[in-house]
Structure 1
Amino acid sequence: MSDFLPDLTFVTPARGRGPGPFGRAVLVLLWVGMCVLPAVLAVPDLRLATGRTGTPGTLTVLSCADLGHGRYDCKGRFTPDSGGPAVAVDASPDSEAGDVLRARLTPEGDRAAPDGTKGVLAALALPAVGLGGIGFLPYVLLYWAGARRRARRTAVAAGCVITAAGALLTVVGMVAAYS
């Protein structure tokens, strides 16, 4: 045992039946759902960042209030490139008061998000977590199917590469969002 974990008892899993075909299907569907959901939720921000939706302009962050527990609420002023009137909007919580950046106003008109490379990388941070999470699903499917060791080793190698790519893209997206 460990001095750090004195109450933790280690259990060796017994060789048994496992979850069965229905349980496996449920587990795979939940796994895929958890990994695909971030990509689905990122679509509106990706559409904004790539210029497919929204009004282009400049965002000036006016204030950021600390809500506690590492959460911030930032307010700003969005000035459209078309020369229309400035609009009060919610700014990204990773902003700082005084920031001036290229942004796009959402079609609803209540929020402005960074566009261009910074916006795309920031919007891809969450889907990258899903990419990293789905990396080892092929191995699990091959294991349950009783595939040979060579095929499973290939799946492990591919899973390592996919998970590393997801982790790298997550870090790049977070750095882009906070810089």
Structure 2
Amino acid sequence: MGKVILVLLWLGVCLLPMVFAVRDLQLATGRIGTPGTLQVISCEDLGEGRYDCKGMFTSDTGGAPMPVDASPDSSAGDVKRAQLTPEGDRAAPAGTMGVLAALTLPAVGFGGLGFLPYVIMYWAGARRRRRAAVIGGWLITAAGVAGMLVGMVAAYS
């Protein structure tokens, strides 16, 4: 019973980042929100590597610029494509860079799933194909790490 609980927790830890990234992916791809341009006005250092950034969002449809919260990985003076949340309080990066940045957390979760089949096979006592499970685990984990690195580079560029 303990092994089943451990596998379920492992699945939860790896799948929840994918669930939590859905809204950011919807914003980055333009499925929700208002497209426009974000100009980052200021970023306040909160300590411990945390920042609070503010900006002005100008909609593509026109209208007056409005103050919004900007992504904490922004820098003052940045001007970039963004998507305004339906609530109108935050602008998220849009386009290719926004999608790659939004995929960072799901990539970590995907990479974490790499060795789960091997662990299940080991606990089940299966001797056949464990080597293939290890090779597959390394490949999946490497793909997850690569996706995470690409997303982080996209977020901070």
Q: TM-score, normalised by structure 1?
A: 0.87
Name the CA distance, whole Å, in 2 between partners of 1:178 and 1:146.
45
| Runs of 4+, deviation exceeding 4 Å | none
Alpha-carbon displacement from aligned partner over 1:2-52 (angstroms, at most 9, x marks no partner):
xxxxxxxxxxxxxxxxxxxx1111000100000001110000000001110
Name the CA distance, whole Å, in 1 between partners of 2:52 and 2:115.
37
**Of 57, 68, 77, which aligns to 2:36?**
57
Structure 1 segment 70-109 matched on structure 2, within 5 A: 70-109=49-88
Name the CA distance, whole Å, in 1 between partners of 2:24 and 2:56.
19
Aligned partner of 1:119 in structure 2 is 98
Q: Where does structure 2 lack aligned partners over 5 or more consecutive residues?
A: none
Higher relative contact order (CA 8 A, sep 6+): 2
Question: Is 1:168 paired with 2:156?
Answer: no
Q: Specify the structure having the higher radius of gyration (Cα).
A: 1
Name the CA distance, whole Å, in 2 between partners of 1:103 and 1:41.
19
The one-letter amino acid of 1:96's match is: S
Q: Where does structure 1 lack aligned partners over 5 or more consecutive residues?
A: 1-21
Q: How far does residue 163 in structure 1 lie from its aligned partner after superposition?
A: 0.1
The RMSD of aligned alpha carbons is 0.6
Aligned partner of 2:136 in structure 1 is 158
Question: Is 1:39 paired with 2:55?
Answer: no
Question: Is 1:30 paired with 2:9?
Answer: yes
Q: How far does residue 145 in structure 1 lie from its aligned partner after superposition?
A: 1.1
Alpha-carbon displacement from aligned partner over 1:92-145 (angstroms, at most 9, x marks no partner):
011000000000000111100111100000000011110111100000011111
Q: TM-score, normalised by structure 2?
A: 0.99
Q: How far does residue 85 in structure 1 lie from its aligned partner after superposition?
A: 2.0
The one-letter amino acid of 2:47's match is: G
Identity %: 72
Aligned length: 157
